[in-house]
Amino acid sequence: MDEVEKIERWLILACLLLTAVLGWAAWDASTQEWEGYQESYYRLALLRASSEAQKEWVRAQPVEIKQLEPKEHRSVERCITCHLAVDNPMFRDAPEPFRAHSSLLTSHPAQRFGCVVCHGGEGRAVTTLEGHGQGNIRAKPLLRGEYMQAACYSCHGEASLSPKAVAAVVRGRQLVNRYLCLGCHQIRGVGGEEGPDLSAVGSNRSWLWLYAHLARPQAIVVGSTMPVFLLPRAEIKDITIYLTTLLDSRDRFRSPTPAAEQRTKSYQGEEPNEEAEKGKENIPENTSAEKFRYDGALLFHGAGCSLCHSIGNRGGEVGPALTYIGRKRKSEELERLLRDPEEILPGGKMPQLYLNDEQIKTLAAYLSALQ
C-alpha cells in the first residue's frame, strides 16, 4: 500500500501548508495600523496623566475600533480610532494624530456632526492611506488649509460667516462668473448645456481631480472639449474651492428648515480657519508615536501627484514628467518645493498639497532617487 502512503504524505504536507497559510491570515488580520496608534496614545496618556485616578482610567481603556455615528448624517466615521485625543485637553500641544481639537469642537459636537463634514476624507476607513484619501486617485482627500472653507461654506453659507472665513469661496464664485463657466455648464438649473452639469460636482469629484482638470482638462478626460484656460494657480485654487462646495443631497449637510437657519446664525463670530492656519505653521515633528511608514510610490500615485506628473509611462501630462527628476533636483530642493510651491515657482501651476513632514520627506526621497 505504498501508493496510499505517498498520498498520505502529500496530504500531511498540504495540511501543514494550510495551517501555515491560516496562521499568516490570522497574523494579517491582527496587525492593524490603528492598534499601534492606540497603544502609543495610551502610553502618552499615562505619561501625561496627573492623578492616580486618571492613570487607572487610562489603563482600563481597551484597544478597539471607535466610531462616531453622527446624528444628522447617515454615516459611520472611524477617524477617532486613531485621533483619540480630539476631546482630551491634556493633548492641546501634542503632535498629530493625537492633537486635541480646537474650541470649534464645542460649537460643532462630534457626536452630532462627525468629522468628515468639515475635514473630508473617508470616514469608514481605518488606515491613513484610505482614511485620508491617499490610497488611490479616486479616493476622497482631506480638506486642508483654504480648502476647508468649502466645508464651512457648504453648511453655513456666506451670510453667517465672517468674510475672511469664506474669502476663497467667494472669489471662486466670482471667477466662475467672470470666466463665463455657466456659458457651457449648468449649476442648479442655471447655465448652458454644452458641458456636464456641475450642480453636484463636489460630491462626484475630489478637489485634487478638479484642480488638475482645471489646469488641463484633456490630461484628465480624454477628448474633452473644454478649453485650456491657462489660469494662474491662485485662481485655479479658488475655483476648485468653490466647486467643492457644490454637493448633492446625499453629502449636503444643511437642511433647509428655519430651525437650521437659526442654528447657523447662532454660530456667528467663530473663526473657523484658525486651527487650519495654526496647523500649517506648526507641522509636528516625527515622534515615536508615529509608527506608520509612508511609501513614496504609493504616495505619488495616491496623493494626487500622478494626476499631473508622470513617472515612466504612468501619470498625467499637466506638469513636467518626473522620470529622471533625481538627476536635476536634490532631495532638499524637492522638499522645499513640496512644502511651499509658491516660494520656488512663483506664479506656477503646482498646488500647495498640505502634506505633512513625513510625507514630504518620503516623497522627496522617492523622487530624488529617480535617476
Partner 1 sequence: MKPPREIVQTILQEIRGSLGRIYRSIFRGSYPATLRQQLIVVVNNLVLHVHPTRVFRRSIRPAGTFGLGLICFYLFVIEWITGVYLMFYYEPSVSAAYGRIQDLDSVVTFGRLVRNVHRWGAEAMVVFVVLHMCRVFYTGAYKPPREFNWVLGVILFLLTLALSFTGYLLPWDQLSFWAVTVGTNIAGYAPVLGPKFRFLLLGGDTVGGEALLRFYTLHVIAVPTVAALLINYHIWRVIKDGGLARPPRQESQSAEGVVPTFPLVVYMELLVFVGLTVGLLVVSLLFNAPLEEEATPLQPNNPAKAPWYFLGLQELVSYSAFWGGVMVPTVLTLFLLALPYIDRRPDGVGEWFARKRLGMIILWSLLLTGVVVTILIGVYFRGPNWNFYWPWNPWPGAD
- Contacts with partner 1 by CB under 8 A lie at 3-4, 7-8, 10-11, 14-15, 17-18, 21-22, 24-25, 28-29, 65, 74-76, 78, 122, 124-127, 130, 137-140, 197, 200, 203-204, 209, 212, 218-223, 306-307, 310, 313-316
d(CA 287, CA 364): 19
* Residue 371 CB, nearest approach to partner 1 (Å): 21
Least Cβ distance, residue 138 to partner 1 (angstroms): 5
CB nearer to partner 1: pick between 24 and 57: 24
CA distance 295 to 287: 18
CB of 79 to partner 1, least distance (A): 12
Of residues 74 and 178, the one with the C-beta less far from partner 1: 74
List the one residue out of 114, 347, 316 whose CA is nearest residue 217. 316
Q: For residue 112, what are the CA distances in angstroms to 109, 270, 276? A: 5, 18, 21
Cell numbers of 95, please?
503632535
Classify the C-alpha dihedral 225-230-236-239 as positive or negative.
Answer: negative
Closest separation in Å from C-beta 18 to partner 1: 5
d(CA 241, CA 146) in angstroms, rounded, equals 8
Nearer to partner 1, 17 or 46 (CB): 17
What are the residues facing 315 on neighbouring strands? 310
Cβ proximity to partner 1, 95 vs 316, nearer residue = 316
**Cα separations (Å) of 157 from 118, 120, 215, 267?**
14, 18, 27, 12
Least Å from the CB of residue 305 to partner 1 = 11
Minimal distance in Å, beta carbon 223 to partner 1?
6
**Do residues 368 and 331 make contact, with C-beta atoms less than 8 angstroms apart?**
yes
* Residue number, 3 or 281, with CB nearest to partner 1: 3
Of 86 and 198, nearer to partner 1 (C-beta) is 198
